[in-house]
């Protein structure tokens, strides 16, 4: 409370009266994070998160199930597991957890018990990939899905586009697609994507220096990964230098997508291209990260554009008939 | 840690300190009139982003799930040699099979990261080879497709300044040693 605010002043009035640098910072911070977003954008995030979770269960979870066949002396727990005293996954548990993830994914996708489903799925997902990382290297493309699930679990905004259920829902006020809601879960995913790229570029500049852009390191990483297309690119030093510089510029510059709407499209399309090329020439898949790039898209603007295109198509025969 | 420039090190320290101070900040905001839920959520987001940035600036990889992103960052000097583990084996049905890294873990290089050092060390080789054999066989329903012998080789790959690639394969081990 500031000295100018008398005791007993209501909380909101006190907040308005407080214009200290401390509160000014937090006002600016909150206006970034809690800027309203259309409810449709939050629904899109929900669909992406639970859809990606189901894709993870279908394509990647088999590696968690197979951990029960790995000799336990190969288990080297990640630091968090070591601190928490978590040991190797017990035989049979992975199969049970797969059913849990599947159920949460389907329920969340349908908008039924979304927060509960997201919370349980996040816990199981982090446990599962932590188990995998305790036998392998830590991979960096998997964290975002867990974070998105945590955000959905903590978001109190009711979800539009939810399937009707026969039992009464607690959310009293129905919400429309265009209604504005606190957009912090979307901002959180956007910020994490930007931070991921930026820190990857930062690491290259700090560890290797600007010399990373000469292409030599990329040539050797292509040899290490051993993809057929990668060998061809590794044999083209100039192309490797161009790709290396482009990678550095893209990674360090990606945070601009958070603030510059005009650059956003370019950076997001570059990100999609970056991952597709990485998958093809390096065999490095960010399959559970890539779909989240859609959170940079304004779904209402897309719907409006689709609507205008539809109107043009529907109107075209009339115009032809009138001629 | 020696690699990190001083300004980045200082920034990381400040951010980590602010992240740790988040509960106190949330309490102070609540005392100044911010609704409790908003203060907790907003300050929690600050702590998360600050911690993520801090660990990223410090290039820490062991602090999963919040980590730095140093993958593919190390500089590799021109003419360096890249070693890649190649596995093959003989099945109970006397078939020779190549074992792709992706048959063992999601990322083909994960097995190499954990096993190559041990396989190149005669004292630790047998235990590691036996573990790999058992892991591979656990997924083979047909007994004739199970491995009875495992062979390992290292392919040494390099590329010169003109882009000419050289690949040399060197056998490393046979397990069990009596196997042909």
pLDDT at residue A4, as a whole number: 44
pLDDT at residue B180, as a whole number: 58
pLDDT at residue A316, as a whole number: 64
Prediction ipTM score: 0.91
- CB-CB under 8 Å, B107 with A196: no
Which chain A residues are within 8 Å of B61, Cβ to Cβ?
138
- Under a CB-based contact definition with an 8 Å cutoff, are residues A223 and B83 in contact? no
B169 contact A CB<8A: no
The DSSP string of B140-171 is --SGGGSEEEEEEEEEEEEE-TT--EEEEEEE
Phi, psi of B68 (to 5 degrees): -80, 180
β-pairing verdict for B165-175 and A180-182: unpaired
Q: Kindly report the average pLDDT of chain B as a whole number.
A: 92
Which chain A residues are within 8 Å of B26, Cβ to Cβ?
none
B residues 41..100 contacting A (CB < 8 A): 41-42, 45-46, 48-49, 52-53, 56-57, 59, 61-78, 80, 82, 84
B residues 3..32 contacting A (CB < 8 A): 3-5, 8, 28-29, 31-32
- CB-CB under 8 Å, B53 with A234: no
Which residue carries 């790229």 as its tokens? Answer: A197
Helix (H, G, I), strand (E, B) or coil at A195: helix
Q: Residue A58: CB partners within 8 Å, gap ≥ 6?
A: none
- How many cross-chain Cβ pairs, A to B, lie less than 8 Å apart? 185
pLDDT at residue A171, as a whole number: 56
Please give the residue that has the higher pLDDT: either A323 or B71: B71
Nearest CA in chain B to A286: B107
- Under a CB-based contact definition with an 8 Å cutoff, are residues A144 and A289 in contact? yes
Which chain A residues are within 8 Å of B100, Cβ to Cβ?
none
Distance CA A245, CA B176 (A): 48
Which chain A residues are within 8 Å of B31, Cβ to Cβ?
1
- CB-CB under 8 Å, A212 with B75: yes
The DSSP string of A115-169 is HHHHHHHHHHHHHHHHHHHTTS---SSSHHHHHHHHHHHH--SPPSSPPP-SSPP
What is the H or E stretch that residue B52 is in? Answer: helix B36-57
pLDDT at residue A3, as a whole number: 41
pLDDT at residue A247, as a whole number: 97
Task: Identify the segments of chain A with pLDDT beneath 70.
Answer: 1-18, 168-174, 316-323
Which residue carries 């599962």 as its tokens? Answer: A128
Report the pLDDT averaged over residues B62-70. Answer: 92
Distance CA B67, CA B44 (A): 18
> Over the Cα atoms of chain B, what is R_g?
25
The DSSP string of B126-141 is HHHHHHHHHHHHTT--
The first and second tokens of residue A190, run together, are 């956007």
Distance CA A301, CA B91 (A): 59
Phi, psi of B96 (to 5 degrees): -95, 125
pLDDT at residue A178, as a whole number: 79
- CB-CB under 8 Å, B70 with A203: yes
- CB-CB under 8 Å, A196 with B69: yes
- CB-CB under 8 Å, A200 with B69: yes
Output DSSP code: residue A257.
G
Comparing CA positions, the residue from B74, B62, B59, B77 lying closest to residue B4 is B59
The first and second tokens of residue B53, run together, are 């940035």
pLDDT at residue A323, as a whole number: 44
- CB-CB under 8 Å, A11 with B73: no
pLDDT at residue B130, as a whole number: 92
Please give the residue that has the higher pLDDT: either B51 or A323: B51
Give per-residue pLDDT as tens, B129-158: 999 999 899 888 899 999 999 999 999 999
Helix (H, G, I), strand (E, B) or coil at B36: helix
Which chain B residues are within 8 Å of A143, Cβ to Cβ?
64-67
Report the pLDDT averaged over residues B46-69. Answer: 94
pTM beyond 0.80: the answer is yes
- CB-CB under 8 Å, A136 with B113: yes
Q: Residue A99: CB partners within 8 Å, gap ≥ 6?
A: none
Which residue carries 């292409």 as its tokens? Answer: A215
Q: Is A75 left (phi over 0), alpha (psi -120 to 50) or beta?
A: beta
Describe the strand order of the beta sheet including B82-91 as a list of residue ranges: B96-99, B82-91, B147-159, B165-175
Give me the residues paired with residue B170 across strands.
B154
Give me the residues paired with residue B154 across strands.
B85, B170
Rounded to 5°, angle at Cα A171 from A170 and A173: 140
Which residue carries 């951010």 as its tokens? Answer: B15
Nearest CA in chain A to B66: A143
Distance CA A115, CA A305 (A): 31
């Amino acid at each position: 409370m500031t000295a100018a605010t008398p005791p007993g002043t209501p909380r909101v009035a006190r907040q308005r009266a407080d214009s200290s640098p401390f509160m000014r910072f937090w006002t600016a911070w909150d206006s970034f994070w809690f800027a309203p977003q259309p409810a449709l954008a939050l629904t899109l995030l929900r669909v992406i998160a639970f859809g990606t979770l189901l894709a993870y269960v279908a394509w990647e979870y088999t590696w968690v199930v197979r951990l029960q066949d790995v000799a336990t002396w190969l288990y080297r727990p990640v630091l968090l597991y070591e601190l928490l005293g978590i040991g190797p996954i017990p035989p049979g548990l992975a199969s049970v957890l797969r059913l849990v993830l599947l159920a949460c994914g389907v329920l969340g996708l349908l908008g039924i018990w979304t927060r509960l489903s997201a919370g349980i799925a996040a816990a199981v997902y982090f446990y599962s990939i932590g188990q995998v990382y305790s036998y392998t290297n830590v991979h960096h493309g998997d964290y975002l899905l867990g974070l998105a699930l945590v955000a959905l679990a903590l978001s109190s905004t009711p979800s539009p586009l939810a399937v009707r259920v026969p039992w009464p829902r607690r959310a009293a006020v129905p919400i429309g697609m265009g209604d504005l809601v606190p957009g912090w879960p979307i901002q959180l995913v956007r910020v994490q994507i930007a931070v991921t790229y930026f820190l990857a570029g930062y690491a290259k500049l700090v560890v290797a220096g600007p010399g990373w852009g000469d292409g030599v390191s990329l040539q050797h990483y292509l040899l290490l990964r051993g993809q057929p297309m990668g060998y061809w690119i590794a044999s083209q030093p100039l192309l490797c230098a161009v790709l290396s510089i482009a990678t550095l510029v893209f990674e360090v510059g990606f945070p601009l997508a958070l603030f510059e709407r005009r650059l956003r499209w370019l950076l997001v399309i570059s990100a999609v291209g970056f991952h597709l090329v990485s998958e093809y020439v390096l065999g490095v898949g960010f399959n559970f990260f890539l779909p989240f790039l859609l959170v940079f898209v304004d779904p209402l603007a897309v719907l409006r554009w689709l609507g205008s295109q539809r109107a043009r198509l529907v109107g075209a025969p009339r115009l032809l008939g009138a001629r | 840690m020696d690699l990190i420039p001083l300004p980045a090190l200082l920034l990381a320290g400040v951010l980590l300190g602010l992240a740790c101070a988040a509960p106190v900040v949330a309490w102070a905001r609540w005392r100044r009139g911010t609704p409790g839920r908003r203060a907790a959520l907003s300050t929690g987001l600050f702590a998360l982003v600050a911690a993520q940035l801090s660990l990223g600036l410090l290039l820490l990889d062991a602090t999963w799930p919040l980590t730095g992103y140093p993958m593919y960052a190390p500089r590799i000097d021109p003419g360096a040699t890249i070693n890649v583990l190649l596995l093959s084996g003989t099945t109970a049905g006397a078939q020779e099979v190549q074992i792709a890294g992706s048959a063992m873990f999601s990322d083909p290089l994960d097995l190499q990261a954990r096993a190559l050092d041990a396989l190149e060390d005669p004292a630790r080789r047998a235990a590691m080879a036996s573990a790999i054999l058992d892991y591979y066989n656990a997924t083979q329903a047909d007994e004739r497709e199970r491995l009875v012998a495992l062979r390992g080789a290292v392919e040494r790959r390099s590329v010169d300044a003109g882009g000419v690639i050289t690949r040399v394969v060197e056998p490393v081990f046979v397990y069990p040693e009596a196997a042909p």
